[in-house]
Amino acid sequence: MAEMLAGKRILVTGAARGLGRSIAESAAREGARLVITDILDEELQRTAAELTEQGVPVEAYRVDQGDPESITEGFSRIAEGGALDGLVNNAAIATNVGGKTMMEYDLDLWDKVMTVNVRGVWLTTQAAVPLLAQSGNGRVVNVASDTALWGAPRLMAYVASKGAVISMTRSMARELGEQSITANAIAPGLTHCEATEYVPEERYRTYRDGRALKREQQPDDIDGTVLYLLSDWARFVTGQLIPINGGFVSR
């Protein structure tokens, strides 16, 4: 059986670790040529080296999604490699953004989360569109969160940012369809990875007890859906949101 993403050049942001790394590794196993970015340069280069050792074609660039100049510089280098077939907007601030009520949030943290998780997704997609259009059938997959579907408490800035990603995806789909580019979003549940190590056990228990599939979610639980949305199998799927949370909450 042919590899799902054979020969496709796929960009995954926030790919140094966690969900992004898992998605990138799975895409590579399906034949993708990888472009990976992250602000964590040391971890990014280590991930790239490990993938290279496995024979995976990979380009790695340090990009700070909160900095427009960094995005512009990163894409000037990415463009040298030619067209993109897919973009996975995974990079986001998720660590140490919870625990405070809406009355306790400070303005700096709120603005930082919105800058990276919302503006950064917009600017990254904006920069990628010309390269996606070159491929003739580009794919955008935005990583949102099911917290925006059930309104997780003590996490308002993150919840609001991921709600914005869902809404932006629908608007992107309408605008980018004229260039044969699809745009969809996934909404993972609480996933065990480096970015969620700070989450209290009580929140993990809430998820486990509330899921139809009563176990903890792992990064690779998400990969299959992302690969599908990047593939030719999803060529007529756009503007959609797919929750991936073991049945904890639907849209």
Nearest Cα neighbor of 40 from 17, 58, 20 is: 17
Domain that holds residue 28: 9-244
The whole-number pLDDT of residue 201 equals 82
Domain of residue 104, CATH code: 3.40.50.720
Separation between Cα atoms, residue 109 and residue 160, nearest integer Å:
13
Q: Residue 189: pLDDT band by 50, 70, 90 thresholds?
A: very high
Region 137-146: what's the mean pLDDT?
A: 97
**What tens digit of pLDDT does each residue of 17-52 get?**
999 999 999 999 999 999 999 999 999 999 999 999
The domain total for the chain is 1
Q: Establish if 110 belongs to a structural domain.
A: yes
Asked if residue 2 belongs to a domain, the reply is: no
Provide the 3-class DSSP secondary structure of residue 242: strand
* Confidence tier at 180 by pLDDT (50, 70, 90): very high
Neighbour order of strands in the sheet with 182-188: 58-62, 33-38, 9-13, 86-89, 139-143, 182-188, 241-244
- Does 3 reside within a domain? no
Give one DSSP letter per residue of 74-98, joined into a string: HHHHHGGG---SEEEE-----TT--
Band of the pLDDT at 197, cuts 50, 70, 90?
confident
* Strand ranges for the chain from DSSP E: 9-13, 33-38, 58-62, 86-89, 139-143, 182-188, 241-244
Cβ atoms of 145 and 159 within 8 Å: the answer is yes
Residues 202-220, mean pLDDT to the nearest whole number: 90
pLDDT of residue 1: 63
- The pLDDT of residue 194 is 74
| CA-CA-CA-CA torsion sign (90, 251, 230, 213) | positive
**Is 158 annotated as catalytic?**
yes
Question: Is 251 part of any domain?
Answer: no
Q: Which of 61, 158, 198, 204 is catalytic?
A: 158
Closest to 74 measured CA to CA, from 181, 49, 57, 84: 84
- The reply to whether 153 falls in a domain is yes
Asked if residue 204 has pLDDT above 90, the reply is no
Contact 123, 165 (CB under 8 A): no
Other Cβ atoms less than 10 A from the Cβ of 56: the count is 18
Domain assignment present for 43: yes
Distance CA 64, CA 138 (A): 23
Instruction: Count other Cβ atoms within 10 Å, centred on residue 157.
Output: 21
pLDDT (tens digit per residue) in 54-79: 999 999 999 999 999 999 999 999 99
Across 220-242, average pLDDT = 97
Percent of the chain with pLDDT over 90: 87
Q: What's this model's pTM, rounded to 2 decimal places?
A: 0.96
Residue 193 predicted with pLDDT over 90: no
91 belongs to a structural domain: yes
Q: Residue 109 falls within a domain, yes or no?
A: yes
